[in-house]
Amino acid sequence: MAADSSASAQANSSAAANSKLKPALTVTTTQPTIADIPLRLAANGNVQAWQEAIIGSEANGLRIQELHVNIGDVVQRGQLLASFVSETVQTDLAAAQASVAEAAANLAEAQANAERARNLQNTGALSAQQIGQYLSAEATAKARLDATKAALAAQQLRMKHTRVLAPDAGVISARTATFGAVVQSGAELFRMIRQGRLEWRAELTAAEMARISNGGEAIVTAPGGAQWKGKVRMVAPVLDAQTRNGLVYVDLQPPKEAKAAGVFKPGMYAKGEFLLGHSAGLTIPQQAIVVRDGFSYVFRLNKDGKVTQVKLQTGRRVTQPQGEVVEVLSGLQAGQTVVVSGAGFLNDGDLVKVVNPAADKPAAAAVAATTASTQK
């Protein structure tokens, strides 16, 4: 009883002494709450075209007459990109058409002679040799007509190749064609990003790739700060033998706003995050954390009105409507009270005046309120 009386007296004297001390600062406080924090995996990678089409010349030895598109133009399937001088092809086409007409006339004459020879075959008016000649002439004329038709089809195809059409919708990314140049068959004229689709090729380790699945979501950030959503199209089946990293192909989905168009370009290096779900964690406001000597601290409020500096191990960060919060991995427990505003001006053991004594609120109520808002 004597010891209890002595301890009580010391506590009363300490409280009385604290009441006479002037608080170092007026602060606000809060308690850690359980929040639903998204799981994210950060990565870096290049932005490339989903597929790049090479549009070449199928005409041989023709001169470019006109170029109808330039770099950056958006084209549709079947749109005219370039045209060649076609006078020579038109002349050859007319000659082929005349050859077909001539071969058709010769075939008609040969068929008439062959038909008469067949009718006179049993009368003896014509020898077997003459009849054979008429029948052979008919077959030859028919073969010659087929050959001239094939030649006509080739000339028609050459005429078609004097017009270079877009094989698909997309964006012209390069133009090597020059006005007035004579090009050979197979020469590259344009390059096109098919359908204007871009993809982010994120570089990940083998352990990180195991956490990614096709169809997953990602957020990719451009160097200028703009963000686009993405969807995992494919996880590479192999790793690079030198870096031991693999690629994850993410289809970029541009926002509907016109101002965001053109933010990402092929060849750009961008960072992003894969969204892997959510998990609960103990969080405190970012404002409550004080960084000193490279470590994170908070000031815990004691019952005597003084604060104690506590070292923290922090984790994920998330932005909420009320501000940014930080996950606490160790150093703090639910139900403890920490200083929010004014924490950066305090030292260990300072006496403070609290204007919103959050320590009087039960931690369970705060946890339940946060969980209910998360479920909504």
What would the two tokens of residue 102 be?
């001539």
Number of domains in the chain: 3
CATH at residue 73: 2.40.50.100
The token duo for 303 is 């019952």
pLDDT in tens, 239-262: 999 989 999 999 998 877 544 456
For residue 225, what is the DSSP state? S
CATH number, domain of 40, equals: 2.40.30.170
Determine the pLDDT at residue 370: 38
Any domain includes 231: yes
* Whole-number Å distance between alpha carbons of 277 and 36: 10
Sign of CA dihedral 228, 234, 240, 243: positive
Report which DSSP code applies to 169.
S
CB distance 190 to 81 below 8 Å: yes
Q: Does the residue 6 lie in any domain?
A: no
Q: Which pLDDT band, with edges at 50, 70 and 90, does 24 fall under?
A: confident
Residue 285 CA: distances (Å) to CA of 279, 293, 317, 339, 340: 18, 20, 10, 10, 7
Cα diameter, the chain: 156
Claim to verify: residue 256 and residue 322 sit in the same structural domain? yes
How far apart are alpha carbons 170 and 49 in whole angstroms?
11
In this predicted structure, what is the pLDDT of residue 3? 40
**Cross-strand partners of 191:** 54, 174
239 and 343 in a common domain: yes
pTM for this one? 0.65
132 and 247 belong to one structural domain: no
Q: To the nearest whole number, what is the mean pLDDT of the chain?
A: 84
Residues 65-111 pLDDT 10s = 999 999 999 999 999 999 999 999 999 999 999 999 999 999 998 88
**132 lies in which domain range?**
86-160
pLDDT value for 20: 60
Tokens in use for 266?
């092929």
Q: Indicate whether 62 and 142 sit together in one domain.
A: no
The strand pairing partners of 52, in sequence order, are: 193
Asked if residue 248 is part of any domain, the answer here is yes
Q: Name the one residue in this structure whose structure tokens are 């073969």.
A: 143
Pick from 221, 224, 247: nearest CA to 236: 247
Q: Which residues contact 134 (CB under 8 A, 6 or more apart)?
A: 110, 113, 114, 116, 117
Q: How many CB atoms lie within 10 A of CB 186?
A: 9
CATH number at residue 105: 1.10.287.470
**322 and 191 co-located in one domain:** no
Using CA atoms, how far residue 33 sits from 27, 69, 284, 358, 373, in Å, is 19, 59, 7, 12, 12
Measured in residues, the chain has a length of 376
Beta strands 245-253 and 227-235, pairing class: antiparallel
pLDDT at residue 361 tops 50:
no
- Long-range Cβ contact pairs of 232-238 (< 8 A, separation 24 or more): 232/274, 233/199, 235/209, 236/209
372 and 264 within one domain = yes
**Is residue 319 over pLDDT 80?**
no
In this structure, are residues 35 and 172 in contact, taking their beta carbons and an 8 Å threshold? no
Q: Are residues 242 and 187 in the same domain?
A: no
pLDDT of residue 357: 55
Residues 262 and 367 in one domain: yes
Within this chain, do residues 29 and 134 fall inside the same structural domain, yes or no? no
User: Looking at the predicted structure, is the pLDDT value of residue 171 above 90?
Assistant: yes
On whether residue 213 sits in a domain, the answer given is yes
Q: In the predicted model, is pLDDT for residue 167 greater than 90? A: yes
DSSP 306: B
227 plus 292 within the same structural domain: yes
Does some domain include residue 286?
Answer: yes
Residue 342 CA to residue 355 CA, distance in Å, equals: 12
DSSP-assigned beta bridge partners for residue 253: 229
Whether residues 208 and 272 share a domain: the answer is yes
Judgement on whether residues 129 and 245 belong to the same structural domain of the protein: no
